[in-house]
Chain A
Amino acid sequence: MSDTPLITAQNLSVHYPLRAGLIGPKPYVAAVENVTIEVAAGSFFGLVGESGSGKTTLGRAMLRAAPITKGDVLFDDGEVSYALKSLGKAELKDYRKRAQLIFQDPYAALSPRMTVRDIIAEPLEVMGLTKSRAETDERVREIADKCRLNVEHLRRFPHAFSGGQRQRISIARALVSGPKFIVADESVAALDVSIQADVLNLLKAIQEDMGLTFLFISHDLSVVAHVCDHVAVMYLGRLVETAPTRTLFSTPRHPYTKALLSAIPSLDPDDRGKAQKLVGEIPSPTNPPPGCKFQTRCPAAIDKCRKIEPVLESAGPEHHVACHRWKELSIAE
């Protein structure tokens, strides 16, 4: 892992328009608002938050699969350097080759009418990356082998495979164009525990082997803790805390991060009910509260939180938190 970022979201906002009234300003939903993250080359970057926090939208914007309203996403892999907001057609096509997505549901992501070989080969053919069928076949076999699929598997259709094997096929398809950056959106959420560990280990092995950079989107903090080296926590479209994994899990600073951590059910049957429970639910993004977006559920909210939106400030090396009270709260602990 190096310190130079492969991809950077810079004050990135993604707004979706709502149906407008006759007068007044055009209403919109801020799915992502003013988010800045740097994903270092070769890192496994975790993005966590509840449903509606904007983590998927941020991931898609970094693939130029969601509209960039404000700010920009900068990509630099040493060969090319792109600012995603103003990418030309040819450049975008080239970017698609360098940045890929692995979906959540391995049952919905694979066409039932195509053989595994054709599924994995499709990106090569669509992007025109190989010149002959023999070359395509060779590339498919090479990638399939990395994802622990054998030649026999390639002839079959997806229905013959279990969830874990299907996810390995999805991974092979994402890798075949030789990308540098992969967004894995809840890629193990649909899998059983015993299979989940296998797919996570495979992703880690591939990342190290091929020197890839991952944006790993997940709602499961225990999974993120095990595979990621850096984590960003989102709430209602905002980045509330970001830190190296170890720091985030040992000294969380934002009340939301603390609540998320304590909400994970402990495996210890004698550790019941000690957790600090969060009341209420994530507000609707069409009508966000003023001030800090978390103030409606925050146990430590004061008047200032209801009026002024906090900005990210440094809470240690590579550790940033957006909370007015993180300092006094950490002293109180």
Chain B
Amino acid sequence: MSRLIDVENLTLQFDTDEGRITAVDDVSFSLEAGEVMGLVGESGSGKSVTAKSLMKLNPRNAVYGPDTKITLHLDDGPVDVMSLQNNAEMKIVRGGAISLIFQEPMASFAPAISIGDQMVEQLMIHTSFSKAQAKELSIEMLDRVGISDPSTRFGQYAFELSGGMRQRAMIAMALSTKPKLLIADEPTTALDVTIQAQVIDLMKDLVSEFGMGIIFITHDLGVIAQTADKVAVMYLGRLVEQGTVRDVIRRPAHPYTRGLIAALPTLDDIDAPLTPIPGDIPSPLERPPGCVYNTRCQEVIGPRCSSEIPAFYPVDTDHAAACHLHDPQESTS
């Protein structure tokens, strides 16, 4: 496998009337081609903002940290995403090498333009296809994602399609430019469970066929277990745990990940009590000092937790947690 993207020290703040809010704080990760990374976290954890930063797709009041470095490795050499300035330059990451699928497929299609016209439009922007070729490829893609009668669907509008159908069309559109990296932001959350299973299957097939990297954003650990190779867990703008999907789900090392898994109702033991994580996620305006999770943590080991930001400590090969519990010095003392 070859390296696809490196994200180093991504920090992103927003200037608001109430002051400067930190949405993403010193996040680093990397992804290989053909790899699926699950980005897990609750609402407000900064997972969507992180993903959109890879395309520099953030509102005007966004301020990137000076150490932020995002490198996309393409066939023609590396691209420094932070240095991209105008729309023409950013075409390469917005819909070119990176495609984005949103959660709500109804909101992501323009309501008054047919599905087909929208698919053709983006192909015309990002490829050198003629209109006829673009149409042919679009219909082929619709067929590929399991939409029956694709040439009729091509001429229809978003409201004429069911939720599952719309999400399939969205996937067809996102993949028609053959992106290197697909960002899927809660792509199945708005779907029924039987349709979700279909869409997950479809995405798995397409990864193996196209060999692209996927960042799969979700709050659902079950979906992650079924799709991802590795997992990054976010809380209040910081990564707290990273590792292979088996390690993180079977042997969660960060107290937050443990809490998330314990709070999840599963069918394996329906009599098990549900254990909530006490308290609420703090407001981003009042980020706790030290470890961001210390206000809700059940395993606080001392004043260090509320004064010193924990570094990532390895717990296994390819598995690390940002928690003082795993500091080798803590276990020896």
Chain A residues with a Cβ under 8 A of chain B: 50-51, 162-165, 192-198, 200-201, 219-223, 225-226, 245-246, 249, 259-261, 263-273, 275, 277-279, 281-282
Q: Is the CB of A272 within 8 A of B226?
A: yes
Q: Is the CB of A264 within 8 A of B259?
A: no
- Given A201-B274, A201-B276, A270-B246, does the pair A223, B226 have CB atoms closer than 8 Å? no
Q: Is the CB of A267 within 8 A of B193?
A: no
* CB within 8 Å of A: which B30-80 residues: 42-43
Q: Is the CB of A265 within 8 A of B226?
A: yes
Q: Is the CB of A269 within 8 A of B200?
A: no
Beyond the given A222-B267, A225-B265, A281-B164, could you list 18 further A-B residue pairs with CB under 8 A, ordered by the A residue number?
A: A50-B192, A50-B193, A162-B281, A192-B42, A193-B260, A194-B263, A197-B275, A226-B272, A260-B194, A263-B193, A263-B197, A265-B196, A266-B226, A267-B221, A267-B222, A277-B194, A277-B197, A278-B194
13 pairs from A and B in contact (CB 8 Å cutoff): A163-B43, A192-B281, A193-B260, A194-B276, A195-B280, A197-B265, A197-B274, A219-B192, A222-B266, A268-B249, A269-B245, A272-B226, A275-B197
Encode contact with A along B113-150: 1 for CB under 8 Å, 0 otherwise. 00000000000000000000000000000000000000
Q: Is the CB of A267 within 8 A of B266?
A: yes
Complex CA distance for A107 and B221, rounded to whole angstroms:
24
- Check if B234 is an interface residue, CB within 8 A of chain A: no
- Given A192-B43, A200-B274, A226-B270, does the pair A281, B195 have CB atoms closer than 8 Å? yes
Chain B residues with a Cβ under 8 A of chain A: 42-43, 162-165, 192-198, 200-201, 204, 219-223, 225-226, 245-246, 249, 259-261, 263-268, 270, 272-277, 280-281
- Given A192-B42, A222-B267, A277-B201, does the pair A50, B194 have CB atoms closer than 8 Å? yes
Complex CA distance for A201 and B278, rounded to whole angstroms:
12
| Neighbouring B residues of A275 by C-beta, 8 Å | 197
| Neighbouring A residues of B249 by C-beta, 8 Å | 267-269
Q: How near does chain A come to B203, taking the closest CB pair, in angstroms?
A: 12
- Given A265-B222, A281-B162, does the pair A194, B260 have CB atoms closer than 8 Å? yes
Complex CA distance for A149 and B262, rounded to whole angstroms:
25
Query: Chain B at the A interface: mostly helix, strand, loop or mixed?
Result: helix
Q: Is the CB of A259 within 8 A of B194?
A: yes
Q: How near does chain B come to A271, taking the closest CB pair, in angstroms?
A: 8
Q: Is the CB of A281 within 8 A of B193?
A: no
Q: How near does chain B come to A308, taking the closest CB pair, in angstroms?
A: 24
Q: B201, B249, B265 — which one has the most chain A CB atoms within 10 A of its CB?
A: B265
Complex CA distance for A19 and B193, rounded to whole angstroms:
32
Contact of A278 among B197, B204, B261, B267 (CB under 8 A): B197
Q: How near does chain B come to A254, taking the closest CB pair, in angstroms?
A: 14
- Given A192-B43, A219-B193, A263-B197, does the pair A281, B165 have CB atoms closer than 8 Å? yes
- Given A219-B193, A265-B223, A277-B197, does the pair A196, B263 have CB atoms closer than 8 Å? yes
Q: B43, B165, B222, B280 — which one has the most chain A CB atoms within 10 A of its CB?
A: B280
User: Considering only CB atoms, which chain B residue lies closest to A188 in the complex?
Assistant: B265
Q: Is the CB of A197 within 8 A of B225?
A: no
Q: Is the CB of A194 within 8 A of B225?
A: no
| Neighbouring A residues of B270 by C-beta, 8 Å | 225-226, 245-246, 249
| Neighbouring A residues of B222 by C-beta, 8 Å | 264-267
- Given A194-B259, A264-B222, A272-B226, does the pair A221, B200 have CB atoms closer than 8 Å? no
User: Considering only CB atoms, which chain B residue lies closest to A161 in the complex?
Assistant: B280
Contact of A195 among B164, B196, B201, B276 (CB under 8 A): B276
Complex CA distance for A272 and B228, rounded to whole angstroms:
11
| Neighbouring B residues of A223 by C-beta, 8 Å | 265
Q: How near does chain A come to B87, taking the closest CB pair, in angstroms?
A: 34
Complex CA distance for A11 and B204, rounded to whole angstroms:
44
| Neighbouring B residues of A282 by C-beta, 8 Å | 192
Q: Is the CB of B219 within 8 A of A193?
A: yes
Contact of A198 among B200, B272, B276 (CB under 8 A): B276
Q: A193, A270, A273 — which one has the most chain B CB atoms within 10 A of its CB?
A: A193
Complex CA distance for A47 and B282, rounded to whole angstroms:
34
Q: A200, A249, A271 — which one has the most chain B CB atoms within 10 A of its CB?
A: A200
- Given A192-B43, A193-B219, does the pair A263, B280 have CB atoms closer than 8 Å? no
Q: How near does chain B come to A183, taking the closest CB pair, in angstroms?
A: 21
| Neighbouring B residues of A268 by C-beta, 8 Å | 225, 249
Q: A163, A194, A249, A281 — which one has the most chain B CB atoms within 10 A of its CB?
A: A194
| Neighbouring B residues of A51 by C-beta, 8 Å | 163, 192
Complex CA distance for A6 and B332, rounded to whole angstroms:
61
Q: How near does chain B come to A163, taking the closest CB pair, in angstroms?
A: 7
Q: Is the CB of B198 within 8 A of A277?
A: yes
Q: A198, A200, A265, A272 — which one has the most chain B CB atoms within 10 A of its CB?
A: A265
Complex CA distance for A192 and B196, rounded to whole angstroms:
19
| Neighbouring A residues of B219 by C-beta, 8 Å | 192-193
| Neighbouring A residues of B223 by C-beta, 8 Å | 265
Q: Is the CB of A165 within 8 A of B267?
A: no
- Given A259-B194, A273-B201, does the pair A267, B280 have CB atoms closer than 8 Å? no
Complex CA distance for A157 and B198, rounded to whole angstroms:
42
